[in-house]
Amino acid sequence: MFPRTRWPVVFACAVSTLWGSASYAVAPTLSGIFPGGGQRGTTFEVTLMGKFDGSPRGIWVEGDGVVIEPPDAKGLAKVRIDATAKPGLRLVRAWNAEGVSAVRWFAVGSGAEVTEVEPNDGLSPAQSFESLPVCINGRLEKAGDVDNFSFALKEGETLSATVDAYSLGSPLDAMLHLLDEKGTRLATASDARNLDPMLAFKAPKTGNYLLQLVGFVHPPAADVRFTGGANVVYRLTVSRSPIPVQLRPAVIALGQKSSPHGIGIDGKDTGEVPVSVDLLANEEGVQTISGAPLIQPVQAFATKQKITLEKEPNEAAGKGMAITLPGVIAGQISSATDKDVFVFSGKKGQRIQAQVIAALLGHPMDAQVQFLAMDGKVLTSNDDAPDLASDASATLTLPADGSYQVMVSDLFQKGGPRADYVLSVGEEQPSFTGTFTTEPKLIVKAGAKTEVAVKVSLKGGWKGPLVLRAHDLPVGVICDPMDIPEKGGEVKLALATTANAAPWSGPFRITIGPKDATNAATPSLIQYALRDSDNRRGTSLKDTSAWAWLTVTPAAAGK
């Protein structure tokens, strides 16, 4: 059974004791948080932008170790981040008796942090920094705003910089410019993993250099001026040493110790990164890795399968690298013309699946995967699988006994020093997944019913009854397990409240899993995308959530 967490129960009880004094206004809004994050082990103030009327009210933060207190009339709120809080992105919502706000993102950092100091629009004065690395929390406060920061570099020293703005939900398509003391532009960076830029610049001579941050509004507007506003926040991390932004190999074996190498913005090796043993208890899939010597969290693919490292040469059709199934291969498309070919043997009727993970990990690669006959004939191909960002997944039913090839390439023939990928190849396994059809924010009066829609997908010939179950609901809210139709599809899970159900506002979760308790398949959480498809531009450390929200209001008068 999916484990029930304790804290939602405590949260619900605390809310219920305060509800008698509620002044019912409207559900709160939360349009921004400044600064957009903070260093663990610190306490500081943030400004919450939005409307927070009503009582009771509060700020929910995902996970342990971070507390944001309810804001005052000016939106100021105290934040406490435990020293043991896990670095990375957290989801934040404002709630009151009438409902909950849209989600925002808040970052937990592990290194030194400062707040931008205005004025810093011109070449001088610009905010100067001696000690690096540092994370600068800033915002472009008005239209046309330009933020400048000064750094002293020695000849041959490399300045590395990354921006988090899009990843925080900020309405900003940021750009970085590197200028010399005379204001001559030496380097420019725009989109990287998403709309947020990354820059690595090697100083040609000793001197002071200016890092300039500007940007345009996102989603795009007809007005192409530099954007600004109270909620146009960013986090700029700067270092004189390389900032590892990915791992090589990009796959980690669960249950085994490993020390992959960090790869910097410029694609250079930054040294070993010991992986925490905490990963040994985690599930397969994309995992976020943090801890020294990483300056920022990175992501890798965790697996229980045998891992093979790609070896060159393996480009020519019919002369690829031999692999055994099932298996996971860590590879790299090192140049524009590079194509990695792998040869395997199979039996007629076997249904073989090949899946490439790269963009989901933040790697600059638009993957394409193809199944080929040994003479080079393409049997099937894919370059953009659903729910895999710009990654790829293809499946082939083998037409005869014999050998076949899997080829991995970049769709637009780019490649390069950071175009690493993870390839999983094996017989397609029966599986199931579920997604919320819309953002799951429910409001129901005591004594009434509501429902939440879930789309269930069955793959690989899954057989056996499945059921939806709700978790972390408060006393007075009843949700019976819901059977899934044999072919999957949309299912509406009903939640009923008793007439005396106490007012409540809080998160809950839904899982999909086998109805038969003896089935070994693991239940999975129902999730939803945090950004709609029209505004999605690449990936970040947190693009999906499994947290639904329920608000129970008092029964209607006279009921």
Q: How far apart are CA 530 and CA 317, in angstroms?
A: 41
Query: So what's the pLDDT on residue 13?
Result: 38
Is 112's pLDDT higher than 90?
yes
Query: So what's the pLDDT on residue 534?
Result: 82
Query: So what's the pLDDT on residue 128?
Result: 86
Query: So what's the pLDDT on residue 9?
Result: 34
CATH 2.60.120.380 positions along the chain are 113-239, 307-428
Query: So what's the pLDDT on residue 21?
Result: 45
Please give the helix or strand (H or E) that residue 16 lies within, else none: helix 7-18
Backbone phi, psi, residue 359, to 5°: -60, -35
In terms of pLDDT, which residue wins out, 432 or 2? 432
Percent of the chain scored above 70 by pLDDT?
A: 94
In terms of pLDDT, which residue wins out, 483 or 389? 483
Per-residue pLDDT, averaged over 6-24, amounts to 42
Per-residue pLDDT, averaged over 382-397, amounts to 87
Is 10's pLDDT higher than 50?
no
Q: Find, among 551, 451, 464, the residue nearest to 504 by Cα.
A: 551
Q: Which two tokens stand for residue 418?
A: 């950071």
Q: How far apart are CA 516 and CA 103, in angstroms?
A: 35
Nearest-10 Cα torsion for 401, 407, 408, 411: -120
Q: Which residues, in sequence order, are CB contacts of 3 under 8 Å at separation 6+?
A: none
Is 207's pLDDT higher than 90?
yes
Q: How far apart are CA 356 and CA 389, in angstroms?
A: 11
Query: So what's the pLDDT on residue 558?
Result: 53
Query: So what's the pLDDT on residue 279?
Result: 73
Please give the helix or strand (H or E) that residue 172 lies within, else none: strand 172-179
How would residue 319 be classed by pLDDT, with cut points 50, 70 and 90?
A: confident
What are the residues facing 436 on neighbouring strands? Answer: 454
Per-residue pLDDT, averaged over 483-509, amounts to 96
CATH assignment, 113-239: 2.60.120.380
Per-residue pLDDT, averaged over 20-38, amounts to 82
How would residue 2 be classed by pLDDT, with cut points 50, 70 and 90?
A: very low
Query: So what's the pLDDT on residue 436?
Result: 97
The CATH class, in words, for 432-553 is mainly beta
Task: Please give the model's pTM, rounded to 2 decimal places.
Answer: 0.92
- Looking from the CA of 553 toward its CB, the CA atoms found within 13 Å total 21
CATH 2.60.40.10 positions along the chain are 8-109, 432-553
Ranges 125-134, 256-265, 272-281, 303-312: which has the least confidence: 272-281
Is 98's pLDDT higher than 50?
yes
Is 213's pLDDT higher than 60?
yes
CATH assignment, 307-428: 2.60.120.380
How would residue 391 be classed by pLDDT, with cut points 50, 70 and 90?
A: very high
| Chain centre to alpha carbon of residue 438 | 18
Q: Which two tokens stand for residue 372?
A: 């080929």
What is the per-residue pLDDT across 272-282, written as a single tens digit (0 to 9) for each?
999 876 776 67
Q: How far apart are CA 134 and CA 286, in angstroms?
A: 27
Matching CATH number, 8-109, of 3.40.50.620, 2.40.160.20, 1.10.274.10, 2.60.40.10? 2.60.40.10
Per-residue pLDDT, averaged over 494-503, amounts to 96
- Give the length of the chain: 559
What mean pLDDT value characterizes the chain?
Answer: 91
What is the per-residue pLDDT across 343-366, written as a single tens digit (0 to 9) for each?
999 999 999 999 999 999 999 999
Query: So what's the pLDDT on residue 557?
Result: 58
Pairing assessment for the beta strands 269-272 and 285-289 based on DSSP bridges:
unpaired
Q: Which residues, in sequence order, are CB contacts of 309 under 8 Å at separation 6+?
A: 249, 329, 330, 331
Cα-Cα-Cα-Cα dihedral sign, residues 346, 348, 353, 356: positive
Query: So what's the pLDDT on residue 225?
Result: 81
Residue position matching structure tokens 């920094």: 129
